[in-house]
Amino acid sequence: MQISVHKVVTIDYTLTDDQGNVIDSSKGGDPLAYIHGIGNIIPGLESALEGKKAGDALKVSIPPQEGYGERDDSMMQEVPRQMFETPEEIQVGMQFHTMTENGQPMVVTVVETSPETITVDANHPLAGQTLNFDVTIVGVRDATAEELEHGHVHGAGGHHH
């Protein structure tokens, strides 16, 4: 069965940056399962997997515009320290969930602190980076009606209700 829209795809993968540093990997854990064609994974990887089948292996390099986008410095903001419930505990690298002006959920990362302000960055941590995937396709099957309704895979490698 070939990978196409509304197929559940299970992959083993290793993601590295351009220097060969491992960013993420399914090795030592469960393969990643996702529904193809509904935006569950980055566009560049989804395109590269289209038409492949179980047992296929590929190496693909995804540019930022097909991954998590280019970095956008306007997504960095200095916030007064007193805006945080426990400002004395805030450290670089911490992440917080917040809402955009449109009410959309967003994760921000603390990138700098000073006695008066805390600078947060709403860019995805991998924005601006070329992403190098080494992928083996473990399985391909039809998504169930319930999986399509929920927008995610159920069972092994997916969501458990």
Sequence ranges of the chain with CATH classification 2.40.10.330:
73-121
Token pair listed for 53? 């089948």
* pLDDT bucket at 90, cuts 50 / 70 / 90: very high
Angle at 63 between CA 26 and CA 138, to 5 degrees: 30
Strands (E), the chain: 7-16, 22-25, 32-35, 57-62, 76-80, 95-99, 105-113, 117-121, 131-142
pLDDT of residue 99: 86
CA distance 8 to 43: 16
CATH topology of domain 73-121: Thrombin, subunit H (2.40.10)
Averaged pLDDT, 2-17: 98
**DSSP line for 43-80:** HHHHHHHTT-BTT-EEEEEE-GGGTT----GGGEEEEE
Q: Which of 3-7, 32-36, 106-110, 155-159 has the lowest mean pLDDT?
A: 155-159
Token pair listed for 56? 């296929």
* pLDDT bucket at 159, cuts 50 / 70 / 90: low
Give the global pTM. 0.84
pLDDT of residue 104: 87
CA-wise closest residue to 3 among 67, 39, 41, 49:
49
Q: Decide if domain 7-68+126-150 falls under CATH 3.10.50.40.
A: yes
| CA torsion through residues 41, 42, 43, 49, sign | negative
Which residues, 6+ apart, have CB-to-CB distance to 101 below 8 Å? none
pLDDT of residue 100: 83
Sequence ranges of the chain with CATH classification 3.10.50.40:
7-68+126-150
Give the DSSP H/E element, type plus range, for residue 149. helix 145-150
- Mean pLDDT: which of 47-51, 87-91, 154-158 is highest? 47-51
Which residues, 6+ apart, have CB-to-CB distance to 75 below 8 Å? 121, 122, 123
Per-residue pLDDT tens over the stretch 13-65:
999 999 999 999 999 999 999 999 999 999 999 999 999 999 999 999 999 99
